[in-house]
Chains A and B, each alone.
Chain A
Amino acid sequence: KAGVTQTPRYLIKTRGQQVTLSCSPISGHRSVSWYQQTPGQGLQFLFEYFSETQRNKGNFPGRFSGRQFSNSRSEMNVSTLELGDSALYLCASSPVRSGGPSYSSGANVLTFGAGSRLTVL
């Protein structure tokens, strides 16, 4: 079973540009989450999508946005890039079970991709 695939793995942008990162979840996983990892702030939650709807959002400015497609693939976009946006962006997917939110039977347990390393110059 293929894991979570993130593209591109590495990219370099300049301040003011925008960037789009892509994430393909594990087959059958319908929830996709995004996290930002920086040396200064550590791992921080960006947002979570399920069934093409954002159902959780972290404390990031509106320059950070995302979406999910009907096949569960997800993209995140960062507009007007700043130097501080340089980070490893991690995508994670998880299965969703019926019966309400829980971690039982592996529901909501995150499997992470290798990340997209963004450098802003």
Chain B
Amino acid sequence: AQSVTQPDIHITVSEGASLELRCNYSYGATPYLFWYVQSPGQGLQLLLKYFSGDTLVQGIKGFEAEFKRSQSSFNLRKPSVHWSDAAEYFCAVGILTGGGNKLTFGTGTQLKVEL
């Protein structure tokens, strides 16, 4: 069965510092990978996705992620964090099944930004 691991439950960075959130997946076939962000009291917003091709994908809000098949990883990065980036971040693997799809999520990483 597929699974997603986000090893860091909480991360604190200073505003302007770089950020890397870790994500490891376990899936036997070609992975479809996503990063979502959730602000307090809100739903999930898609940051970026990887299906195939270039292993470095660009997303919204200045985020990027790199797919590394050999390490089963899809880490999220941002060169300079803004206070508004404080939120919870979820990595997910998408499964095409039953004619449709479903996502398996990691447990999330709570990002705190110090001013």
Interface residues of A (CB under 8 A from B): 4, 6, 31, 33, 35, 42-45, 48, 50, 55-56, 58, 90, 92, 94, 96, 101-104, 108-115
Number of chain B residues close to chain A: CB under 8 A: 26
State whether A56 touches B96 (Cβ < 8 A). Answer: no
| Residue interface bits B39-53, CB-to-A below 8 A is 1, else 0 | 001111110010100
State whether B32 touches A103 (Cβ < 8 A). Answer: yes
Interface residue ranges of B73-115 to A (CB < 8 Å): 90, 92, 94, 96-108
A10 — nearest CB in chain B belongs to which residue?
A: B41
Provide the bound-state CA to CA distance between A86 and B50, in Å. 33
- Decide yes or no: A43 and B101 within 8 Å by CB, A90-B43, A103-B49 being known contacts: no
- Count: A-B pairs, CB below 8 Å: 72
Interface SS of B by simple majority: strand
Instruction: Enumerate chain A residues within 8 angstroms of B45, measured Cβ to Cβ.
Output: 112
- Decide yes or no: A58 and B102 within 8 Å by CB, A4-B43, A42-B107, A109-B49 being known contacts: yes
A49 — nearest CB in chain B belongs to which residue?
A: B100
Instruction: Enumerate chain A residues within 8 angstroms of B44, measured Cβ to Cβ.
Output: 90, 92, 110, 112
Most A-side CB within 10 Å, residue of B90, B100, B103: B100
